Amino acid sequence: MIGGATQLVAIVGSPISQVKSPENFNTWFARHELNLAMIAVDMREQALDAFLDSLRGWQNLRGCVVTVPYKQLLATRLDEVSERALALRSVNVIRREPDGRLIGDNVDGEGFLNAARQHQFQAEGKSALVVGSGGVGSAIAYSLCQAGVSQLTITDVSAERALALVDLLQTAFPSIAISCEFNSLESFELVVNASPVGMGGSGELPLSTDLLNSLKAGTLVADVVTSPEITPLLAFARDRQCPIQTGPEMAYAQLGNLGNFMGVTPLQI
């Protein structure tokens, strides 16, 4: 029950009814008997500046998770952002400091890595392919570089977007071999679909059948798509004896990062 003394966190996006964070956070708060609650906010873009002003003045609100389509828009309007959020030009979480200042970070990539670690995947020294260089693909690629992969390949239907991400990462991580070139999946220890391909039962695969046939057993194959949980890519990989990581696993593994940044949960939950 929300009462007068309840401390709040929010999640903002539009639409918002599909998000799982309120259920996940509120279940965790209730289980730990904390007087905290998450509310979901469906906000019009025209009202975002007024919303940020309200966050600055909202004294019983600790922070706000940011989802589509506002991750990029809000990154430019906060008082401070982390180095990675600045590089990615995108935030998915905001902390409200007691003086009202708003600080942003992007922990999408950390959530992905947490879930991968649960599959015994340690990024250091590994070779990875990220399909899709939009918001989530960029965040995952950045975190893989921070975690020390030795080789990273980026691919996207928009070659321009993929190249821009390669440029950004090469500047930030000059010692890692980063490119858009590949003609087989054989050398990868991790293959991630970070594009929306496979969403909503479309049956589509994000890579050609020729390429998929070069996937080797043992490669961790991950998808960011949350519905369906087992995407066509994951079903294919499972048939090839590859370990798989689902979109909901990534989303759940990120809760501690989001909550910890807002100061309402420990890092590991």
Residues noted as catalytic: 71
Verify binding: residue 225, ligand NAD, rule CB under 6 A. yes
Looking at the Cβ atoms of 55 and 258, the one nearer to ligand NAD is 258
* Helix intervals (H) in 18-152: 21-31, 48-57, 71-75, 83-88, 108-118, 135-146
Looking at the Cβ atoms of 113 and 264, the one nearer to ligand NAD is 113
- Are 145 and 169 a contacting pair, CB within 8 Å? yes
Rounded to an integer, what distance in angstroms lies between the CA atom of residue 40 and that of residue 17? Answer: 8
* Cα–Cα distances in angstroms (integers) from residue 96 to residues 52, 59, 151, in the given order: 10, 9, 37
Closest approach, Cβ 98 to ligand NAD, in A, equals 29
Backbone angles phi, psi at 78, to 5 degrees: -95, 170
Verify binding: residue 206, ligand NAD, rule CB under 6 A. yes
Interface pick for ligand NAD out of 38, 116, 197, 234 (rule CB under 6 A): 197
Interface pick for ligand NAD out of 26, 48, 226, 243 (rule CB under 6 A): 226
* CA angle in degrees (0–180, nearest 5) for 109-114-117: 125
Verify binding: residue 199, ligand NAD, rule CB under 6 A. yes
Verify binding: residue 224, ligand NAD, rule CB under 6 A. yes
The mark string for 166-195 relative to ligand NAD (x by CB under 6 A, - otherwise) is -----------------------------x
Exposed / middle / buried, residue 19 (Cβ in 10 Å: 0-12, 13-18, 19+): buried
Stretch that binds ligand NAD, among 74-82, 98-106, 149-157, 256-264 (CB under 6 A): 149-157
Closest approach, Cβ 81 to ligand NAD, in A, equals 17
**Beta sheet of 80-81, edge-to-edge order:** 36-42, 7-13, 61-66, 93-96, 102-105, 80-81
Nearest in space to 194 (alpha carbons), one of 85, 112, 106: 112
Closest approach, Cβ 112 to ligand NAD, in A, equals 7
Query: CB-based contacts of 214: which residues, under 8 Å, 6+ apart?
Result: 184, 185, 186
Looking at the Cβ atoms of 27 and 158, the one nearer to ligand NAD is 158
Of residues 8-47, which lie at the interface with ligand NAD (CB under 6 A)? none
Interface pick for ligand NAD out of 56, 89, 161, 216 (rule CB under 6 A): 161
Indicate the pairing of strand 61-66 with strand 190-193.
unpaired
- Binding residues for ligand NAD (CB under 6 A): 68, 108, 111, 131-137, 155-158, 161, 195-197, 199, 206, 224-226, 247, 250-251, 254
